[in-house]
């Protein structure tokens, strides 16, 4: 069993991500041999020009998607934490989609079974991370992500304070 600080997933830095969709294209290419965002396991969200970021599976602890599946089609790999889909069991009912807060598990438009990020296990490394032109994507563990957030926010606070004192 892998410990939480060893289990890594793909996460985008919202300050760096420009919403260019290169990750979507590369993911769909890697997985489906076509350029088609609908077949990508990572999806870009653009709320407005300032707010955009790409999102994919967080490999949750106790994943709600797995719990929600009425047909036991989903399992989580003990080793890596990725969500594995048994395509014979999955009938595309969508309970897992509803359970996932990130929209990270999706229905395949052709095969009508769900799919989500598997960290490109056959390639050895996530292709989206490799291709993102902004280096906005990282393969991180939850605790490293938390550490980063702590440091970023502290830096911001510190900058504000600096500005105040040097006025």
Angle at CA of residue 13, ends 65 and 28, nearest 5°: 55
Cα–Cα distance for residue pair 28/100, rounded to 1 Å: 21
Identify what 126 binds: ligand SF4, other proteins, none; CB under 5 to 8 Å per kind: ligand SF4
Q: Which of 1, 3, 48, 165 binds other proteins (CB under 8 A)?
A: 48
Structure tokens at 150: 């702590």
Contact residue for other proteins among 55, 75, 134, 144 (CB under 8 A): 134
Which is nearest to 59 in space by CA: 142, 150, 147? Answer: 142
Q: What is the dihedral of CA 97, 89, 38, 140, to 10 degrees?
A: 70
Task: Give 28 or 141: the residue with its C-beta nearer to other proteins.
Answer: 28
**39 is an interface residue for other proteins by CB under 8 A:** yes
- Of 82, 91, 38, nearest in space to 59 by CA: 82
Considering the complex, state which of residue 65 and residue 142 has its C-beta at the smaller distance from ligand SF4. Answer: 65
Binding site for ligand SF4 (CB under 6 A): 10, 12, 17-23, 26-27, 30-31, 41-42, 44, 54, 56-60, 63-65, 83, 99-100, 102, 104-105, 116-120, 126-128, 132, 134, 136-137
């Amino acid at each position: 069993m892998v410990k939480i600080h060893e289990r890594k997933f793909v996460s985008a830095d919202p300050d760096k991500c420009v919403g260019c969709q290169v990750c979507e294209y590369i993911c769909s290419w890697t997985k489906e041999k076509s350029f088609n965002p609908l077949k990508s396991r990572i999806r870009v969200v653009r709320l407005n020009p300032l707010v955009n970021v790409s999102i994919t599976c967080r490999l949750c602890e106790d994943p709600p998607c797995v719990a929600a599946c009425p047909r036991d089609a989903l399992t989580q790999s003990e080793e890596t934490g990725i969500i594995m889909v048994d395509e014979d069991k999955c009938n595309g009912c969508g309970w897992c989609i509803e359970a996932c807060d990130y929209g990270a598990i999706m229905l395949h438009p052709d095969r009508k079974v769900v799919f989500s990020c598997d960290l490109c296990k056959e390639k050895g490394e996530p292709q989206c991370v490799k291709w993102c032109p902004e280096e906005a994507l990282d393969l991180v563990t939850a605790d490293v992500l938390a550490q980063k957030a702590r440091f970023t926010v502290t830096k911001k606070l510190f900058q504000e304070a600096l500005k105040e004192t040097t006025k």
